Structure 1
Amino acid sequence: MRKLEIADAEIMQLAIRQEIERSEESRYDHRLHGVLLVSCGYSCTEVGQLLGQAATTVQRWVGRFERDGFDGLREGDRPGRPRALDESQWHRVEADLRKTPREFGFEAGLWDGSLLSEHLRKNYGVRLGVRQCQRLFGQMGFRLRKPRPQVAQSDPARVAAVKKTPAPGKARGH
Structure 2
Amino acid sequence: MGRKVKQLKNYTSEEVKALIDNDDKHKVGVKLCAVYQMGKGKSSRVLEDFFQVSFKQICNWATRFDNEGIEGLVDKPRSGRKPNISAEQKAELSTILKSSSEAMGYNSGSWSGTLVKDLLKNHFGLEYSISHTYNLLHLLGFSFQRTKGVYPERDETKREVVRAEIKKT
How far 1:140 sits from its partner (Å)?
3.0
Q: Percent identity?
A: 17
Task: Kindly state the Cα deviation for residue 76 of structure 1 after the two structures are TM-superposed.
Answer: 6.3
- Report the equivalent of 1:147: 147
- Identify the residue that residue 113 of structure 2 maps to in structure 1: 113
Take 1:40 and 1:158, find their aligned partners in 2: how far apart are those partners? 84
Is the 8 Å Cα contact of residues 120 and 126 (structure 1) preserved in structure 2? yes
Which secondary structure state, in structure 2, belongs to the residue aligned with residue 49 of structure 1? helix
The match for 2:18 is 21
1:124 counterpart residue number: 124
In the aligned structure 1, how far is the partner of 2:48 from the partner of 2:161?
A: 66
Aligned partners of 1:112 and 1:134 also within 8 Å: no
> What is the CA-CA distance between 1:110 and the residue it aligns to?
1.5
Structure 2 residue 85 is matched with structure 1 residue 85: yes
Q: CA deviation at 1:137?
A: 2.9
Tell me which residue corresponds to 1:168: none
Counterparts of 1:67 and 1:21 in 2: how far apart (Å)?
A: 29
Deviation of 1:85 (Å): 0.9
The normalised TM-score by structure 2 is: 0.60
Matches of 2:50 and 2:15, distance apart in 1? 15
Compared CA separation, residues 21 and 97, structure 1 to 2 (3 A): closer
Gaps of 5+ in 2: none
1:32 aligns with 2:32: yes
- RMSD value, Cα: 4.3
Cα deviations by residue, 1:120-164 (Å, 9 ceiling, x for unpaired): 2343333334343334334434454442357xx99578889xxxx
Q: How does 1:49-88 map to 2 (within 5 A)?
A: 49-74=49-74, 77=77, 79-88=79-88
Give a deviation string over 1:34-60, Cα, whole Å, max 9, x none: 222233344433321222123343244
Instruction: Provide the TM-score with structure 1 as the length reference.
Output: 0.59
Distance verdict in 2 for CA 1:109–1:62, change over 3 Å: farther
Unaligned runs of 5+ in 1: 161-173
